[in-house]
Amino acid sequence: MPAAHDRQVRTVFIHPPYDTAVLALSPYAYYRLDETSGTIAHDASGNGRDGTYKGTSGTDYLLGQTAVVPDFTYSADVFATNPGAPKVALPSMSLGSNGYTWQSDFSVALWAQPDSSQLSQAAAAVEINDYYFGQGGANGTTSTTPYMGVYPVANWPATPTTFADGKAHFLAETVHRNTSGTCDLTLYADGSAVESVTGTECSGGSHIVYSTNSGIGGRVSYDAGAGGYFGGIGGVAIFASALTAAQISDLYTGATPTPTPTPTPTP
């Protein structure tokens, strides 16, 4: 039997289920947004693509707030103040188009919860090189529905009023370029596809400047004062491929505990 001083104490870190599901897919970048201080939004993928909180704490964003991701401790609240530029600036992303050539298909997943004072919004929760999604209706109107868009092509609102209940919901978007040069976009809410566009024009956006048009909490191309989100955001996972519907579902169900069955009464 080993002596007491030979025994090793092992610390086991338990990752939240969403964390585990995200990391299993080898994300390109992953921002939990669970910081409680500082200005760095750490990239948990291990790829070193840290982001930066922009603006003033308490005015443009608040850290260490109630988590919107299941089993997380904290998330960040962002506020669509003027200007409405992203509250987390991201480094260059070699995804989608750089304005000249197509670099890579990609996907983005996150959790978002609108502030109770603004359940209806026209706001982007994230933008990657002119592709964005969040809340909004047709032609830039406010809505409780999820939507996606690509500048300067179009916006596509989905049908369900996902955010009307004021709770946190899972959103994801996949972007795939076809061999014909057109793009297919799919928007997911709580693990299910709610909007799909096939054969649309791929962005060659005039607002793209060497692949730097990426951020969380607003539209980079609307930094004059529009398009910012108002509420909690967390668990922003970015992938350098168009994930399948099954993979998107796994991200959502991985973070959603299976309901406990109702016990059957004993006769």
Query: What would the pLDDT profile of 111-153 be if each residue is shown by its tens digit?
Result: 999 999 999 998 999 999 889 999 998 877 899 999 998 887 7
| Spatial distance between the Cα atoms of 37 and 35, rounded to a whole number of angstroms | 6
| Spatial distance between the Cα atoms of 137 and 147, rounded to a whole number of angstroms | 7
pTM for the full predicted model: 0.87
User: Rounded to 10 degrees, what is the CA torsion of 99, 193, 233, 31?
Assistant: -60
Fold of the 34-254 domain: Jelly Rolls (2.60.120)
Give the pLDDT confidence of 32-46 residue by residue, as tens digits.
999 999 999 999 999
Helix (H), strand (E) at residue 23: helix 17-23
Mean pLDDT of the chain: 85
Q: What mean pLDDT do residues 40-56 have?
A: 95
Count of CB atoms situated within 10 Å of the CB of 137: 17
